[in-house]
């Protein structure tokens, strides 16, 4: 998933020998399943979702820790990886693709790795259980409501995907039906029947995706029941989650991750903080409680709209949001002679780019807190920042996606 990165060579430790790299991420060799897990998924060899199926969780953490230690050795000390007490059923955003086999069997689940063939999954060991039950019941309801699944090859059919999001703290549930048309036959009866099975459902949204595309969601949402969004709490703040909102899927680990990021910022109530790649404003809004001023910058207009709503919802008055490219925005700040004490950056898995990193250098904050979801691109970006006057103090990995190769990391840099 991550970009390319030069090799840092050293004698491998015992745990480092247990992985091989795939697309820049740590992958356990099959022979290393000496510590086998009792949690063996029946879909492990069909579904492409989990890379570490059948491997004991402690072994997964050791492998990820060794990988990060080796990757970041040129820069800093790597603190012990923060794992989960219970690494199962952690995904509170559950997506299922729908299809129909040649024999007419309706299937719903994940795509087989590197294909668009749908693997029929009754329940997933890393997905929130009630969300899986809702998807399973929707699949069972389709025939009685004469709803056909969408065929990607012919463009015929209606139901493409179902997305279920559940608030960890609030328990609120949003069901998103992704259709190829804005018309759902007997929609009121369908929603009524679904809510009879699952009365905890807070809202049902019809998302229209009428394009021949691999994108899951379309641009248009029609609320069939409820408010069209749910809310959840994170680090003492309340956040609105709409169908297309970016919101971390593992709330337990996300809270720890964000608390660490804000702790590393060393806020005293006086600092000017820039929340770059701010998305819907989660980190910035949480940080604002301990900062003098927060500026959130995000290129996605819908995300900024949600960020403004979230700030108002939490009565946060010392934060401003700008719909702009963060790098360009910070260069203009530097040209005007403006300063920032802290930059918190949370880029996508592809990492940042040189234009953005050079803008950080120009603005010259005392501290940079880098929240990474791509280890290899993190190392690449740290190489640039350390060449331009910053020192990496420490890195703390977080296992937000057990049974997969992905690793999140909080890194503190100081000038």
d(CA 100, CA 110): 13
Cβ neighbours of residue 394 under 8 Å, at least 6 residues apart? 76, 77, 78, 79, 411, 412
Give the active site residues: 373
Quote the Cα angle for 82-84-86, to 5°: 170
DSSP state of 117: P
Task: Please tell me whether 277 is known to bind a ligand.
Answer: yes
Gap between the Cα atoms of 156 and 141, Å rounded = 19
Please name the residue that has the structure tokens 């559950």. 94
For the chain, the 3-state helix, strand and coil shares in percent, each to the nearest 5, are: 25, 30, 45
Residue 391: strand pairing partners = 414
- Beta strand spans in 118-251 (E): 118-120, 159-166, 173-179, 201-208, 220-225, 230-234, 237-241
Contact 243, 302 (CB under 8 A): no
Q: Compute CA distances 90 → 9, 96, 230, 371, whole Å.
A: 35, 16, 18, 20
Residue 298 assigned as binding residue: yes
Closest CA to 323 of 343, 297, 346: 297
Residue 130 is labelled as binding a ligand: no
> Where is the binding site, in residues?
248, 277, 298, 346
């Amino acid at each position: 998933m991550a970009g390319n990165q030069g090799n840092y060579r050293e004698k491998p430790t015992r745990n480092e020998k247990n992985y091989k790299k795939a697309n820049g991420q740590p992958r356990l060799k099959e022979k290393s399943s000496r510590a086998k897990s009792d949690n063996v998924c029946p879909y492990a060899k069909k579904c492409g979702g989990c890379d570490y199926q059948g491997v004991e969780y402690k072994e997964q953490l050791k492998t990820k820790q060794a990988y990060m230690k080796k990757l970041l050795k040129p820069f800093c000390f790597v603190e012990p990886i923060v794992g989960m007490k219970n690494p199962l059923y952690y995904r509170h955003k559950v997506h299922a693709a729908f299809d129909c086999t040649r024999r007419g069997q309706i299937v719903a689940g994940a795509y087989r790795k590197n294909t668009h063939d749908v693997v029929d999954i009754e329940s997933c060991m890393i997905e929130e259980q009630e969300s899986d039950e809702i998807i399973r019941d929707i699949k069972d309801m389709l025939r009685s409501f004469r709803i056909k699944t969408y065929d990607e090859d012919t463009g015929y059919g209606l139901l493409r995907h179902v997305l279920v999001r559940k608030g960890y703290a609030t328990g609120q549930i949003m069901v998103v039906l992704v259709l190829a048309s804005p018309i759902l036959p007997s929609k009121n009866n369908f929603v009524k029947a679904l809510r009879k099975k699952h009365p905890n459902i807070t809202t049902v949204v019809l998302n229209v995706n009428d394009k021949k595309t691999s994108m899951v969601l379309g641009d248009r949402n029609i609320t069939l029941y409820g408010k069209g969004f749910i809310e959840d709490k994170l680090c003492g703040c309340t956040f609105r989650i709409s169908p297309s909102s970016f919101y971390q899927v593992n709330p337990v680990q996300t809270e720890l991750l964000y608390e660490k990021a804000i702790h590393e910022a060393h806020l005293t109530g006086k600092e000017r903080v820039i929340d770059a790649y701010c998305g819907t404003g989660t980190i910035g809004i949480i940080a604002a409680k301990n900062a003098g001023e927060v500026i959130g910058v995000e290129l996605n207009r819908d995300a900024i709209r949600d960020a403004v709503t979230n700030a108002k919802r939490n009565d946060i008055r010392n934060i401003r949001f700008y719909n702009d490219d963060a790098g360009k925005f910070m260069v203009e700040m530097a040209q005007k002679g403006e300063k920032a004490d802290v930059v918190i950056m949370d880029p996508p898995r592809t990492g940042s780019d040189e234009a953005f990193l050079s803008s950080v250098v120009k603005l010259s904050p005392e501290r940079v807190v880098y929240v990474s979801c791509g280890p290899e691109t993190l190392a690449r970006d740290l190489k640039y920042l350390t060449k331009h006057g910053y020192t990496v103090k420490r890195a703390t990995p977080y296992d937000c996606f057990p049974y997969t190769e992905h690793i999140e990391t909080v890194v503190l840099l100081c000038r």
